[in-house]
Amino acid sequence: MSNRWILSEYDVESPFQQPAPFLKTAKSHGLSVTHTRLIGGRRDGVELLTVQNGDFSFTTIPSRGMGIHLAKHGETRLGWDSPIEGPVHPRFVPLFDPSGLGWLDGMDELIVRCGLESNGAPEFDTESGRLKYGLHGRIANQPTEDVVVEVSEGGEMCISGEVRETRFLCYNVALKTEIRTKSGENGFRIRDQIINRSAKPSSAQMLYHINLGAPILGEGASVVCPVSEICPRDDHAATSIDTWSTYLPPTAGYAEQVYFMQLAADADGKTCALLKNAAGDKAVSVHFNVKQLPYFVLWKNTAAVEDGYVTGLEPATNFPNPRGFEADHGRTIQLAPGQTYDIDLGLQFHPTAESVAEAEAVIAGLVEGKEAKVHTTPQSAWCG
Amino acid sequence: MSNRWILSEYDVESPFQQPAPFLKTAKSHGLSVTHTRLIGGRRDGVELLTVQNGDFSFTTIPSRGMGIHLAKHGETRLGWDSPIEGPVHPRFVPLFDPSGLGWLDGMDELIVRCGLESNGAPEFDTESGRLKYGLHGRIANQPTEDVVVEVSEGGEMCISGEVRETRFLCYNVALKTEIRTKSGENGFRIRDQIINRSAKPSSAQMLYHINLGAPILGEGASVVCPVSEICPRDDHAATSIDTWSTYLPPTAGYAEQVYFMQLAADADGKTCALLKNAAGDKAVSVHFNVKQLPYFVLWKNTAAVEDGYVTGLEPATNFPNPRGFEADHGRTIQLAPGQTYDIDLGLQFHPTAESVAEAEAVIAGLVEGKEAKVHTTPQSAWCG
Amino acid sequence: MSNRWILSEYDVESPFQQPAPFLKTAKSHGLSVTHTRLIGGRRDGVELLTVQNGDFSFTTIPSRGMGIHLAKHGETRLGWDSPIEGPVHPRFVPLFDPSGLGWLDGMDELIVRCGLESNGAPEFDTESGRLKYGLHGRIANQPTEDVVVEVSEGGEMCISGEVRETRFLCYNVALKTEIRTKSGENGFRIRDQIINRSAKPSSAQMLYHINLGAPILGEGASVVCPVSEICPRDDHAATSIDTWSTYLPPTAGYAEQVYFMQLAADADGKTCALLKNAAGDKAVSVHFNVKQLPYFVLWKNTAAVEDGYVTGLEPATNFPNPRGFEADHGRTIQLAPGQTYDIDLGLQFHPTAESVAEAEAVIAGLVEGKEAKVHTTPQSAWCG
């Protein structure tokens, strides 16, 4: 028997004081989901869904585009300590700050989607100087509609919802998302659909900013991924190209270093990147398909703990340059009227040296006999 | 005996958990009003008042400047399917997006007021390039204060409130609104007062964006109004000047066409415009006074259903050009300290061929023996 | 025995419908505090804490950076009638309006803090024309986290909380505030700590905009302060330098006049400024330390009552010029990593001629034998 709870269905007859159908905690097949609404400060009004699956748990944020706030395995936290100390309600995130940097006021999550009309660095109109596209787009600060939690007979929970980025006459692309976890799984899988709801052709971009800090990240931690081609984003990153895959301890004044890549994959396009701790006995792996997400960005921000000691593993449809540069280089998703672009993304936790080694072996297999093309300087077609 | 319910009066002693005097549904003289607060998504926190008057009903949105979300007569919906799928809480409408187009993120209503300091196309400072006036102004995204519902002994319901557009030292003009419907009426009447609350002279603009889609709008639907003078807004609209009063079916890729007019009126200034369906057995008429609203705009946006198949009948104090152009042409309301500018606007539904013909006869009477001045190209004094 | 209530502590387990630990009214040692959350209009969702201390009461606004909305002594109101008619929820204050003036949409309080990254007039990027710093900064429109009310054994109430101004990678300075009042006191004392939470050096500015209208302000009211040096902000203020310390009645069309000063102080740096009514039997004094707040601004805005008849006594770390000008003149607070800058500020009400005379005598003592340096024109190092 399958269980289905509609969390955000409301009835225009139901006043505020008699809230819409609402669920504190529901359980099924050893899985539970808890619905919370935070009160006070910058979190005021933020809704959360926390899923408990044995030792593994994670929290999604319907109020923030169904991003993933954090995950946990026992006492091990997957996520990072952002100086933002969120989750921040979108009303406190000034996406339209003329500087284009307002998005940074809410950056706090383990997984934050960057899109849909654009992601990457802000872009300004060359003539008027006015902001055209703010940093990393709008989707992470839009609330989710039609949130539903379901548990199938087979014991798989699915949280679904839709996030809309709509400006009348201008843009109408939606993100349908499903987040799944099966009883006993140490992770979750996301299926996102980017849908052009307009009768006119449209376009989109998507980048998954997957952010990890301590305890997985630490001095001597490393990223393992099947690099096919890599280059530093800028001259500053170029100075450390030799150590791109390893991490410093928290370092006051560290300026972020970013590497752009393409990864090798299996015949179906499936690939994987992981971050493991220094001891090699804990890791987080990210699973995706290069047919859907052909680019991969590694963001290293091993700054002081107070400033956010964190690294980002970022599969994407493009590089996070200003949108115009990416469009010129063909790195936007073109969407015919009504067309959908599917993306599958998984995150798994590896709690033992054995499970880490197993995941590494899979990655090693993807590059066996192939040589990575390593550029020691920024490449003009990739770095805008 | 008259009934009076104060909906938004609050007491600083009453905490959130014990809400201010609040009314789920109240009934009197065969009229009812229901107060709702929506939960979830972009609607989160939006307050609605839904009035039922026999077969006719309509919903106002205190949270959005007391606009009219939609009306219904039996199964016939008066309104349109905006891709926005609102009502959207103002917190998700970035009025100050540097592009000046943020207003479009909330455009969803049957009647949305455009004003008060400005309406029309965005205007930018010529020197700095910075936004001066965003598209269609702020008033539709300001919440309403002091909301009261009253039913008179004669069986007329009146919903009143005040919407403020105030920037300390800069602007302080308020909109006092009363929306009335009488038992058995297939419509409602709005009395708006634009009040300069400052001791200094001020100015204002107002446009009523009255938006209708299916089922009234459809292939072969037509607008009937007592044109005295008309011109196309731009060259694109000029190409279809011959068919300005009739409508295409939903047409993918249709680019909006806009016509600027002045209408004939009776000796008191009263006039009327209506939209009727192809069969001519259903229509919506809009009633106003050319002494208060001397200009009339017809907005045709017969795009695909997905992109918002809709037309706008828009009585106004000015044409929706950038504010500076309108000021140069004397089309702003000048307000002495404390002065009030009154506007009366009615919307009525005509459910039968007979009632449509009757309304058309009134309009025909207004132009009997007069010839409309039809410009086939944009006129420089009207089109900025 | 000490009492401690944590108002904003929330538990991710507690859903919206079962609110976080919450207190309607709590009493101790003859002091009471009432927690309110407003509903409707632009106040929707604003939280207030109202403290009653015998005849004296005051209201702080956690939702608005823990500013002081108003105070009262018996029937005498300390505060002013802003045309804004707030308190306004920050969501209705467009801090990032490209004009830089959005802050004025919420200006309503008795005490509003201006800072932290900047205060003063807006500043724009000279090349692009884009807004860099909006008028008076962000801190007054940020919600307060971790609000706690405590009453000590000695009968002193302390309301504390933290307001954060954080942009990831850019700025991370917090304001820790404590507001204290002792049983029987006709006022309150604020201790603010400006904390650089980053591991990198940072900087800040702070100005306390303390605003008073009728009944203390009125024709013939005057400000008394131990001027050491004074100059008019601009040529307009220069025309009235001779009457800088006295007030006109409400005057339609009055354009604000501002005077920049440095005040004399005692050996510890303590100083005081007061506003007394025409009769000299009521006054409000402001107490601060010139080692913490070396500059003092007098803002005279004796406009018509409708436009906000008000004067501002404003101790500050700088003059309210654009931030760049102040930085060039060394008037920013430099903060090493983790460093804290302390500020003490008191406000006291003097309800009788005797108590006013006493306060004046203290001020007279501070300038005894010293001559004030009065500039009749704006000084280039002070006025940017």
pLDDT value of position C9: 38
Per CB-CB distance under 8 Å, the chain A contacts of C146 are 41
pLDDT value of position C149: 87
CA-to-CA dists, residue C207 to C144, C285, C318, angstroms: 18, 17, 7
* Residue from A179, A181, A304 nearest A249 by CA: A304
| Mean model confidence pLDDT for chain B | 93
Residue A26 pLDDT > 80: no
Sign of CA pseudo-dihedral B72, B75, B76, B80: positive
Give residue A266's pLDDT band: very low, low, confident or very high (50, 70, 90): very high
Q: Is residue B380 part of a domain?
A: no
Domain hosting B157: range is: 3-374
Q: Is residue C230 part of a domain?
A: yes
The answer to whether the CB of B118 falls within 8 A of the CB of B111 is no
The answer to whether the CB of A51 falls within 8 A of the CB of A70 is no
pLDDT value of position A5: 57
Per CB-CB distance under 8 Å, the chain B contacts of A98 are 98, 130
pLDDT value of position A236: 98
| Average pLDDT of span B68-73 | 97
Distance from CA of B249 to the nearest CA of A (A): 14
Separation of CA B199 from chain center: 29
Give the whole-angstrom CA distance, residue B78 versus residue C70: 47
Q: In this complex, is the C-beta atom of B4 within 8 Å of any C-beta atom belonging to chain C?
A: no
Q: Is residue A124 part of a domain?
A: yes
Per CB-CB distance under 8 Å, the chain A contacts of B131 are 130
pLDDT value of position B5: 57
Contacts of A among chains (3+ CB pairs under 8 A): B, C
Give residue A29's pLDDT band: very low, low, confident or very high (50, 70, 90): confident
pLDDT value of position A18: 30
List the structure tokens of A133. Answer: 């596209």
C79-109: b or e for each residue (b if 16 or more CB lie within 10 Å)?
bbbbbbbbbbbbbbbbbbbbbbbbbbbbbbb
Nearest beta carbon to residue A41 from set C15, C145, C198: C145
Residue B225 pLDDT > 60: yes
pLDDT value of position C29: 85
Give the whole-angstrom CA distance, residue C25 versus residue C51: 10
B residues 69..88 contacting A (CB < 8 A): 82-85
Q: Under an 8 A CB cutoff, do C39 and B20 touch?
A: yes
Contacts of C among chains (3+ CB pairs under 8 A): A, B
| Chain C residue whose CA is closest to B96 | C97
pLDDT value of position A12: 31
The burial of A352, by beta-carbon neighbours within 10 Å (0-12 exposed, 13-18 middle, 19 or more buried), is given as: exposed
* Residue from C251, C241, C258 nearest C219 by CA: C251
Express the helix, strand and coil content of chain B in percent, nearest 5 each.
10, 45, 45
pLDDT value of position C1: 42
Give the whole-angstrom CA distance, residue B62 versus residue B140: 10
| Average pLDDT of span A30-56 | 88
Residue A70 pLDDT > 50: yes
Nearest beta carbon to residue C98 from set B131, B147, B199: B131
| Chain C residue whose CA is closest to B97 | C97
Residue C137 DSSP class = B
Region at C220 (left for phi over 0; alpha for psi -120 to 50; beta for the rest): left
The burial of B338, by beta-carbon neighbours within 10 Å (0-12 exposed, 13-18 middle, 19 or more buried), is given as: exposed
Furthest C-alpha separation in chain A: 65
Q: Is residue A226 part of a domain?
A: yes
Q: Is residue B331 part of a domain?
A: yes
The answer to whether the CB of A13 falls within 8 A of the CB of B36 is yes
A residues 255..314 contacting C (CB < 8 A): 256, 301, 303-308
pLDDT value of position B99: 98
pLDDT value of position C362: 97
Residue A151 is part of a domain; what is its CATH number? 2.70.98.10
Number of domains in chain B: 1
Q: Is residue B381 part of a domain?
A: no
| Average pLDDT of span A318-325 | 98
Looking at per-residue pLDDT, the higher value among A381 and B19 belongs to A381
HEC string for B38-55: CCCHHHCCCEEEEEEECC
Per CB-CB distance under 8 Å, the chain B contacts of C253 are 199-200
pLDDT value of position A1: 42
Q: How many CB pairs under 8 A join B and C?
A: 120
Nearest beta carbon to residue A145 from set B19, B37, B41: B41
Per CB-CB distance under 8 Å, the chain A contacts of C137 are none
Separation of CA C308 from chain center: 17
The answer to whether the CB of B156 falls within 8 A of the CB of B146 is no
Residue B20 pLDDT > 70: no
pLDDT value of position C146: 87
| Average pLDDT of span B6-24 | 38
pLDDT value of position C5: 57
- Tally of CB atoms within 10 A around A220: 13
Select from B91, B169, B195 the residue whose CB has the most chain C CBs within 10 Å, as the one to mutate to test that interface.
Answer: B169
Q: Under an 8 A CB cutoff, do A104 and C128 touch?
A: no
Q: In this complex, is the C-beta atom of B24 within 8 Å of any C-beta atom belonging to chain C?
A: no
Q: Is residue C178 part of a domain?
A: yes
pLDDT digits (tens, 9 = 90+) for A73-87: 999 999 999 999 999
ipTM rounded to 2 decimals = 0.94
Residue with token string 């008619």: C85
Residues of chain C with pLDDT under 50: 1, 7-23
Q: What angle do CA A293, A297, A303 make, to 5 degrees?
A: 150
How many residues appear in chain B? Answer: 384
DSSP string for B83-151: TT-SPPPGGG--TT-TTS-GGGGG---SEEEEEES--SS-EE-TTT--EEE-TTBSGGGSPEEEEEEEE
pLDDT value of position A226: 98
> What is the percent of chain B where pLDDT is above 90?
85
Q: Is residue A382 part of a domain?
A: no
CA-to-CA dists, residue A88 to A62, A85, B344, C16, angstroms: 12, 8, 43, 16
pLDDT digits (tens, 9 = 90+) for A322-363: 999 999 999 999 999 999 999 999 999 999 999 999 999 999
Q: In this complex, is the C-beta atom of C22 within 8 Å of any C-beta atom belonging to chain B?
A: yes
Give the whole-angstrom CA distance, residue C247 versus residue A174: 59
